[in-house]
Amino acid sequence: DAKTTQPTSMDCAEGRAANLPCNHSTISGNEYVYWYRQIHSQGPQYIIHGLKNNETNEMASLIITEDRKSSTLILPHATLRDTAVYYCIVRLGSGNTGKLIFGQGTTLQVKP
Amino acid sequence: EPEVTQTPSHQVTQMGQEVILRCVPISNHLYFYWYRQILGQKVEFLVSFYNNEISEKSEIFDDQFSVERPDGSNFTLKIRSTKLEDSAMYFCASSYFGTGPNEQFFGPGTRLTVL
């Protein structure tokens, strides 16, 4: 699985969009970008994943650059409950049941 | 919404004792996992399990660890002789096997404290 680089921490004002970047310059053609988050020592929670097209679900949007070397997770209207550690993970996608490899992630602090 | 459950939420044990951590995965899931997180550190993979066999294990998962699916619903992690360094949060996860995204659903964790 390709390595990812994320900022250690970020702040965001409540109600504003939170944009969390991730670099994955060594991503290969069949690897997907997954995002998980962990709220204060709870179990990690799946957010979204994508291959090359931008994706949106009820939680977030994922923007992947055309060269696929980086991506941005967007929480459109951050709330205090979105304060968490966000993990960007690159791995094989469809049908993949292999382990998740977590890095240090980005600690997002949403402030009132 | 279906969810993974884990018991107990907190387990305190003496060094050298055996512990069994229990998990009930989501009912139609076929792949099961254990991860752990030592306080302040990354979430680390321990083992994956499919069709009553270990699919993959990490270097952490040594002979002191074992996993079992004793019936159609439970998935357990046993540590035979606990060490101080086994103190951590242990997360169970499950995923559905198919052609979809196969995201893993995690339980709330069991905090293991070894004294």
CA atoms within 13 A on the CB side of B13: 24
pLDDT value of position B39: 94
Tokens 């993990």: give the residue: A87
Instruction: Supply the DSSP string of B80-114, one letter for each residue.
Output: SS--GGG-EEEEEEEE--SSS--PPEE---EEEEE
- Structure tokens that stand for B87 in this block: 């103190």
* Band of residue B38 on the pLDDT scale cut at 50, 70, 90: very high
- Interface residue A102 vs chain B (CB under 8 A): yes
CA atoms within 13 A on the CB side of A22: 31
Q: Is A80 helix (H, G, I), strand (E, B) or coil?
A: helix
Share of chain B above pLDDT 90, in %: 84
Find the helix or strand (DSSP H, E) in which A45 lies. strand A45-50
Over the stretch A51-98, which tens digit does the pLDDT of each residue have?
998 999 999 999 999 999 999 999 999 999 999 999 999 987 666 778
- Among residues 25-84 of chain B, which lie with CB inside 8 Å of chain A? 31, 33, 35, 37, 42-45, 48, 50, 55-56, 58
Q: Is the distance from CB of B19 to CB of B8 less than 8 angstroms?
A: no
Determine whether the interchain pair A97/B102 forms a contact, defined as Cβ–Cβ distance below 8 Å.
yes
